[in-house]
Amino acid sequence: MDLHIQAIAKRYATVAALDSVDLDVASGELVALLGPSGSGKTTLLRVIAGLLQPDSGRLLFGDQDATRLSLRERNVGFVFQHYALFKHMSVAENIAFGLRSRPRARRPDKASIAQRVQELLNLIQLPELGARYPEQLSGGQKQRVALARALAIDPTVLLLDEPFGALDAKVRIELRRWLRRLHDQTGQTTLFVTHDQEEALELADRVVVLKDGRIEQVGTPDEIYSAPASAYVFDFIGRANVIEGQTEGGQLSVNGHALRLPVDSHSRSRARLYVRPHDMALVADGEGLPARVLSAHRLAERITLELLVEGQVRPLELDLVATPDAVTPAPGSTVHVRPLRYRVYSD
Amino acid sequence: MSEHALPLPTSAVRWRRPLPGFGLGLGLGLTWLGLVVLLPLAALILRSGGLGLAGWLRAIGDPRVIASLKVSFATAFIAAVCSLLGGALIAWVLERYRFSGRRLLDALVDLPFALPTAVAGITLAAIYDENGWVGQLLQPLGIKLVNNTTGIVIALIFIGLPFAVRTVQPVLEALGREQEEAAASLGASRLTTLRRVILPELLPALLTGFSLAFARGLGEFGSVIFIAGNLPMKTEIAPLLITIRLEEEGGVTAAIVLATLLLLMSFACLVAINAASALFAHGSRRGG
Amino acid sequence: MADARDQLQEPAWVRWTLITLAVAIMALVLVLPLLMLLGAAFGSGLKVWIAAVTEPHTLSALRLTLLTAAVVVPVNAICGVFMAWALTRFEFRGKRTLLALIDLPFAVSPVVAGLCLVLLFSPTHGYFADLLNQYDIKILFATPGIVLATMFVTFPFVVRELIPLMEQQGSDEELAARSLGASAWTMFFRVTLPNIKWGLLYGVLLCSARAMGEFGAVTVVSGNIMGKTNTLSLHVEVLYKQLGGEAAAAFAVASLLAGLALVTLVFKIWLEARHGDALARSHRRH
């Protein structure tokens, strides 16, 4: 089932939690809603679920207008951050809950329900735990049961609210990979909310980066990482260095330095160059920006330098792969650095 | 992947809350509140207003009325202070020390809550009576504990003590040791720590406990009337005078006036409790 | 090292003095009356106790007390659940006022509560006097009055117990149930009720104990007609006043009431010990 979000907006008092958001999700996609707290990602997820009422806009499941449907009517599979498993029911009863709650007419018979529950238990790789109770499970197991419970009703769309937020780092990574495999198996349209960019990039087919209730960029993880549409996205994903300069005539000059870097914009304005620590190189005098080495660390084959380019306020971090005979620059010495892959954003 | 046919929305215009039962819950709750609590109280307030200034002045002019209020107020106040002191001590001992029988003691604190007031009343009267267990011992010393205000205070301490304990206990529990340890590490003596670190944190709870015990003591009836002797002008509490006046011809006015005054005093306490609770909330947040 | 420890704890003699003092206060103020009660009730022998307890007026008082509780407790419990649901699962204006109003019965003297009912239902000067006389309905000096008075006084118990509990638990489980397609009643009986059952039981226990022991409000509305409109508490008072010194009968009946209270207390302790985690964290502030 594909999902269409059209001009959804939601305000709280003076703050716009969502500021006219448009998004199309294709059937079977795994989409990440990524952003810091306050970006509107959770609000958007909850609006899609029917937990929150939007002030304006439309929501379409397939080609049906779902905007006026209640939480119950939308048949979404919502997985809460803290699982919300029913404490007083066993794992099997939890998973069977949705099917057993159907009105007589649509309810499958006991045997079918039991079969489905076992299928799902196998799917989440916990075939023996049907009789256990939630308090006897680990965090990772609880999350998987919550997923199975949501899948049991054959949902229109699966919505996960920071699914791994309450788990240990190691479990988080394992479960992340497991979720991807599960998704590939079921082909279920899924949206999940996270503030962890690594998680979003590793897991999703497409990533939606949000800021202050607006979508900053939508794209594949590769697009988001290598072609960030704004300084915000660049900075949010991965590590970033910033160099202030001036664009003029299709080139960026930094602090009046002779160095010219080609850029897209042809206007004359202040701009900032964003570059990742491993996308710069040390070059000969005249080919790069002069910088003073503040600190240098060498660990096996990696050299990390902290440099201060003349005229800049913030230092740069530079990662180098060291060849065995490379010399680590000494603190205080001057080197020349040149950005290789970078993005320039005008102010 | 199956195709899903979503239902047609049941309401074209209204937003359906994700959870059901708001209308029913609030409706039923408000009706119940209105009929059982607000309606009777409204009746009192209306009748009270309807008495007019003349009616009020006449009622207040009766010396027995003023005397009964004085007795209620004074005994409730003294009892609340005693309850607070005893209650704070008991709460401290229960929370801070470990000794055998602590759990039993903790459970017993709730006894006055569970015991019917009339039962408490006749029991207390019997104990402190001249022939009673305690009364017997104190009689030779010339100490009388029944048929006087002392008896009333004793009865009110019985019912007020649990309030004081149960209000201070959770605060002590939540306080933890950290602040005391910090003070000790900075060189403060135990007494200083108690005075300057713990006491300020407990103050809102102490005030709340006092107000609760006081408010409860003002309105207390069953526990008191057996031990008090009920001598008009001397040991007659306001609630008792209300019942007496009610049974007399034309005594309704006095009853209404007394009741309203008692109500106002209780409300003043409620306000004080809320103010103390607000202080309490800020305090605990500050404490971290 | 010893210094630091001294600064964290009072010296042993202080501790033990305080403990002794606390125990002494408790013993004097709380335990002594209990012992006295048992002594006076059973002091004249078991036969006297049984005779007092099975006396026809006592039995009818017991019947009335139980009947009152049987009406008051379910009404307050069911309405309390609905009220707590509305207050903890939804946002709306006036919530704080509502919460304060719920506490009103605690701030009102029981005698005042009784008076309010007299002002409403007195056949001579009550607001509803005409209506009552027209249909020949008796509220005061009859069971309905006692029921209403008791309902007023025990109004907040269940709902106050449920509110912090339901607030603590949050609505995620119920929202999950709804998202899975549960109807309102399915959600309530399969998810909500199991989660609140111990808190509800606790509140019902407190409500019952108070309902059976209520005295002040009932005094005003009942008229003290022996065998007709006397609850156990009122009966105790009547016996005590009548018999004065040899009030063994009064104490016998009182011990019956006290027994009810003690059972409640024991049950309460058991509940806190066994299912403390299923009760609201701060449920001790009565």
Confidence band, pLDDT 50/70/90 cuts, at residue C280: low
C-chain residues near B90 (CB < 8 A): 22, 25-26
| pLDDT for residue C7 | 56
- Amino acid B192: pLDDT: 80
Q: CA–CA distance from A41 to each of A157, A164, A180, A323, B198 (Å)? A: 16, 15, 20, 44, 44
Chain A nearest C-alpha distance from B25 (Å): 19
Say which of B3, B12, B17 has its CB closest to residue A68: B12
Q: What is the pLDDT of residue A75?
A: 92
**Confidence category of residue C2, pLDDT binned at 50, 70, 90:** very low
CB nearest to C173's CB, from A74, A84, A102: A84
> Of chain C residues 162-181, which have a CB less than 8 A from chain A?
172-173, 175-181
Q: What is the pLDDT of residue B172?
A: 85
Dihedral of the alpha carbons of C61, C63, C64, C70, in degrees to the nearest 10: 150
Share of chain C above pLDDT 70, in %: 92
Residues in chain A within 8 Å Cβ distance of C91: none
DSSP code per residue over chain B? -----PPPPS-SSSPPPSS--HHHHHHHHHHHHIIIIIHHHHHHHHHHHHTHHHHHHHHHHSHHHHHHHHHHHHHHHHHHHHHHHHHHHHHHHHHH---TTHHHHHHHTTHHHHS-HHHHHHHHHHHHSTTSHHHHHHGGGT---SSSHHHHHHHHHHHHHHHHHHHHHHHHHHH-SHHHHHHHHTT--HHHHIIIIIHHHHHHHHHHHHHHHHHHHHH--TTTHHHH---TTTT--HHHHHHHHHHSTT-HHHHHHHHHHHHHHHHHHHHHHHHHHHHHHHHHHHH-
Is any Cβ of chain B less than 8 angstroms from the Cβ of A276? no
Say which amino acid occupies C67: L
Residues of A in contact with C171 (CB under 8 A): none
A51: nearest CA partner in chain B? B18
HSE-CB at B206 with a 13 A cutoff on CA atoms is 15
Look at residue C246 in the predicted model and tell me its pLDDT.
Answer: 59
Q: Which amino acid, residue B24?
A: L
Using the beta-carbon criterion (under 8 Å), do B16 and A188 form an inter-chain contact? Answer: no
- CA nearest C252: which of C30, C44, C33, C29? C44
Q: pLDDT tier at B6 (50, 70, 90 boundaries)?
A: low
Claim: this prediction has a pTM higher than 0.95? no
Average pLDDT over residues C153-160: 93
| Chain B residues touching chain A at CB-CB below 8 Å | 1-4, 6-7, 9-13, 15-18
Question: What per-residue confidence (pLDDT) applies to B9?
Answer: 53
User: Which DSSP category does A108 fall into?
Assistant: P
Cβ distance of B44 and C116 shorter than 8 Å: yes
Rounded Cα distance between C185 and C3, Å, is 63
Residue of A53, A61, A188 with shortest CB distance to B6: A61
Q: Indicate if the pLDDT at residue C163 is higher than 90.
A: yes
Helix (H, G, I), strand (E, B) or coil at C213: helix
Q: Which amino acid is at B12?
A: A
Q: Measured between CB atoms, does C184 come within 8 Å of chain A?
A: no
The alpha-carbon radius of gyration of chain A (Å, integer) is 25
Q: Between residues C133 and A98, which one has the greater pLDDT?
A: A98
Phi-psi region of B105 (alpha: psi -120 to 50; beta: other; left: phi over 0): alpha
Q: Mind listing the pLDDT tens digit for each residue in C209-255?
A: 889 999 999 999 987 666 678 898 888 888 888 876 557 888 888 88
Nearest CA in chain A to C171: A84
Partners of B4 on chain A (C-beta within 8 Å) are 1, 61-62, 75, 154, 156
| B221 with C6: Cβ contact below 8 A | no
Give the pLDDT score at C227: 64
User: Does C269 contact chain B (CB < 8 Å)?
Assistant: yes
| CA distances to A78, A130, C126 from A51, in Å | 10, 29, 50
From the list A15, A21, A9, A57, the residue with the least C-alpha distance to A38 is A15
* C208's tokens: 């019952």
Chain C window 187-246: which residues touch A at a Cβ cutoff of 8 Å? 190-191, 194-195
Distance between CA C74 and CA C208 in Å, rounded? 10
- Report the pLDDT averaged over residues C147-163: 94
Are the beta carbons of A277 and A239 closer than 8 angstroms? Answer: yes
Contact B3 A62 (CB under 8 A): yes
Q: Which residues contact A40 (CB under 8 A, 6 or more apart)?
A: A17, A18, A19, A21, A210, A212, A213, A214
Contact C190 A75 (CB under 8 A): no
* Contact yes or no for B190 and C9 at CB 8 A: yes
Closest alpha carbon within chain A to C179: A72
The mean pLDDT values, 10 residues at a time, for chain A of 347 residues are 93 87 95 94 95 93 90 94 94 96 92 95 94 94 95 95 90 92 94 94 95 94 92 90 84 71 76 90 84 89 88 89 80 89 85
The verdict on A185 touching B (C-beta cutoff 8 Å) is no
Task: Identify the pLDDT of residue B3.
Answer: 44
Rounded CA-CA distance B150/C252 in Å is: 27
Q: Any CB–CB contact under 8 A between C30 and chain A?
A: no
Cα A346 to its chain centre, rounded Å, is: 25
pLDDT confidence of residue B2 = 42
Task: Compare CB distances from B118 to C104, C118, C236 and report the shortest one's residue.
Answer: C236
Q: In chain C, what residues touch B118 (CB-CB under 8 Å)?
A: 213, 215, 233-234, 236-237, 254, 257
Nearest chain C residue to A73 by CA: give it: C181
What is the chain B residue with the closest CA to A27? B1
Instruction: Point out the residue among C19, C28, C113 whose CB comes nearest to the CB of B99.
Output: C19
Task: Give C49 to chain B, closest Cα distance, Å.
Answer: 16
**H or E element at residue A150:** helix A139-152
- Whether C18 has a pLDDT exceeding 60, the answer reads yes
B171: nearest Cα among B191, B200, B192: B200
Q: What element of type H or E holds C16? A: helix C12-26
SS3 assignment for C59-75: HHHHHHHHHHHHHHHHH
Contact status, residue A286 vs residue A260, Cβ threshold 8 Å: no
pLDDT at B287: 41
Higher pLDDT, B108 or B263: B263
What does the alpha-carbon distance between residue C64 and residue C68 come to, in Å, rounded to a whole number? 6
- Coil/strand/helix, residue A106: helix
Window 146-165 of B, Cβ < 8 Å to C: 157-158, 161-163
Contact B6 A74 (CB under 8 A): yes
Q: What residues of A are in contact with residue C181 (Cβ under 8 Å)?
A: 72, 75, 98, 101-102, 153
The chain B residue lying nearest A1, using CA atoms, is B3
Distance CA C144, CA C151 (A): 10
The closest CB to that of C173, out of A49, A77, A86, belongs to A86
Residue among C103, C265, C286 minimizing CB distance to B111? C265
- Model pLDDT for residues C81-128, shown as the tens digit of each residue: 999 999 999 999 999 889 889 988 988 999 999 999 999 998 888 888
> C136 pLDDT exceeds 90?
no
- Could you tell me the CA-to-CA distances from B288 to A94, B178, B187, B200 in Å, in that order? 38, 11, 22, 15
Chain A partners within 8 Å of B6 (Cβ): 61-62, 64, 66, 69, 73-75, 156
